[in-house]
Structure 1
Amino acid sequence: MSGGYGPTEPATKDIQDLCDQVKSKVQEITGKNYGEYTAFKFRSQVVAGTNYLIKVHVGDDYIHVIIFKDQGGEVALSDVNEGQTKVSPLEPF
């Protein structure tokens, strides 16, 4: 079923795997090299594939990333939002 983003949930190993697949692209966009890069929370949205909105812990800060996984399993980084905190809501950007 297509629609808006679902509820915020704790990150899983599968969510961390998605983050790991786009880490180099995230670092390229932000111009930063993240020693710590740990998925913390996420929300998902079913479209023609799935969008994942993920809060990632990167040292003393947090970033939000949107990752798209198509129905064939291909993964692509859609966007990055820096300057987040542990408590900032996971909202589409």
Structure 2
Amino acid sequence: MRAGGTSELKQPSEEVQQLLETVKTELEEKMERKLDKFLLVSYKTQVVAGTNYFAKIDIGGEELVHLRVYKNLQGEVSLHSHQHPKTREEDIQYF
């Protein structure tokens, strides 16, 4: 990983799944719909003053969303932004 860049693609982990679930309600509000499914497919990280998580999330059917979630040094987690719709084949890019 180069300085300031994102990590290589990582496989899902229970720890990151749980971290991302803390922003699910906020994502539902932004998307103006209830999500029946919220499953981490893969992710990348970026170390800043805390950590950015760039995640690919399966939200059911053939729908996927990319999230940018920030965890600060105090452990507080917030949804920075999201991109929708995305396909399973699309790589997670910095946004």
Same fold (TM over 0.5): yes
Aligned twin of 1:12: 13
Aligned twin of 1:22: 23
Measured after TM superposition, the shift of residue 18 of structure 1 is 1.5
Q: Cα RMSD between the aligned structures? A: 1.2
Aligned twin of 2:53: 52
Structure 1: 4+ residue segments shifted above 6 A: none
2-structure distance, mates of 1:49, 1:2? 14
Aligned twin of 1:43: 44
1-structure distance, mates of 2:18, 2:44? 15
Identical aligned pairs, as a percentage? 27
* 1:66 matches 2:68: yes
1:9, 1:43 within 8 Å by CA — same for their partners in 2? yes
Normalized against structure 2, the TM-score is what? 0.93
> Which structure 2 segments of 5+ residues have no match?
none
Normalized against structure 1, the TM-score is what? 0.95
Measured after TM superposition, the shift of residue 2 of structure 1 is 4.9
Aligned twin of 2:4: 3
